[in-house]
Amino acid sequence: MNFLSHYYHELPCNDAYFVGGLILPDILSNYSYRAGRVVKLHPWRLTEPKTAIQQSLTSGVKRHYAVDAAFHDSDYFTIQTRWIEDNLLSKPFDCFPRRKYAIAHVMLEILLDRSLMVRFPDLTPGFYAKLEEIDDHAIAELMSNNGQEKDAVGVRAHFNEFRRAAFLYDYLNDERLNALLARINRRLGNPLLSASDKQNLTTAIYDIEKAFLGEKFPTFRTDS
């Protein structure tokens, strides 16, 4: 799942550091892309926390991976991803000659977030308010405690950039969301979007959003 969906899945939750840990794996994925190498906190390798704050961060990271595993193994994920892929196939796109399933996966996660933002207007401000409660030194400490000392400062800065930029609001802007999906599509080795592709993508976004807004948000049982 994506940032806001992870947060919503755990509500009610008043522990800001748990929320920080919950989204940190996805922040690390973005950081890894910029760094040109994988920087990751493996849940089974995390050291035993020595403070309450580090315990909350660690628990959040572990919860992220547990829910992600349940999400990706679920019938919901399989059915919705195939439905989105079929929706894309039904339109005359030129920009998706390969890896449509990967694009469908990305769109599922992002549009789940967007549907939550539309349905619950106070959710995103509340999410960012929770992140503002976090002392960024605790993020660097978590990285250092788990063998990522050389990236501790960089990850801390990236976390601060994430909460400052508040880019999740871009999901509500059709043009910016279109551009984001176009960039992801390029990373997958596909061509630039034509004017026709952009129109078709916007139509697909509204098709998917309409379906999600008519459904209850899914929950996923885990062992953690």
Whether 103 maps to a domain, the answer reads yes
Report pLDDT digits (tens) over 85-115: 999 999 999 898 888 899 999 999 999 999 9
- Which of the four pLDDT bands, split at 50, 70 and 90, describes residue 221? confident
Rounded (10°) angle between helices 123-132 and 16-35:
90
Query: If you average pLDDT over residues 69-80, what whole number do you get?
Result: 95
Q: Check: CB of residue 14 under 8 Å from CB of residue 51.
A: no
Tens-place pLDDT, residues 118-156: 999 999 999 999 999 999 999 999 999 998 999 999 999
What is the mean predicted confidence (pLDDT) over 47-74? 96
Count CA atoms closer than 13 A to 106's CA, side-chain side.
Answer: 17
Determine how many CB atoms are found less than 10 A away from the CB of residue 167: 14
pTM greater than 0.85 (yes/no): yes
Inside any domain, residue 147:
yes
Residue 42, pLDDT above cutoff 80: yes
Minimal CA–CA distance to 143: which of 4, 27, 3? 27
Buried b (16+ CB within 10 A) or exposed e, 212-223: beeeeebebeee
Domain count, the chain: 1
Any domain includes 171: yes
Query: Averaged over 190-202, what is the pLDDT?
Result: 94
**Would residue 63 count as lying in a domain?**
yes
8 pLDDT more than 90: yes
Residue 220 lies in a domain: no
Give me 148's structure tokens: 């990522």
Q: Average pLDDT of 207-217?
A: 93
Range of the structural domain that residue 21 is part of? 3-213
Contacts of residue 51, Cβ cutoff 8 Å, sequence gap at least 6: none
221 part of a folded domain = no
Residue 224: predicted pLDDT? 52
Domain assignment present for residue 219? The answer is: no
pLDDT for 156-171, tens place per residue? Answer: 999 999 999 999 999 9
- pLDDT interval class at 1 (50, 70, 90): confident
- Between CA 189 and CA 35 the distance in angstroms is 19
Q: Is residue 222 part of a domain?
A: no
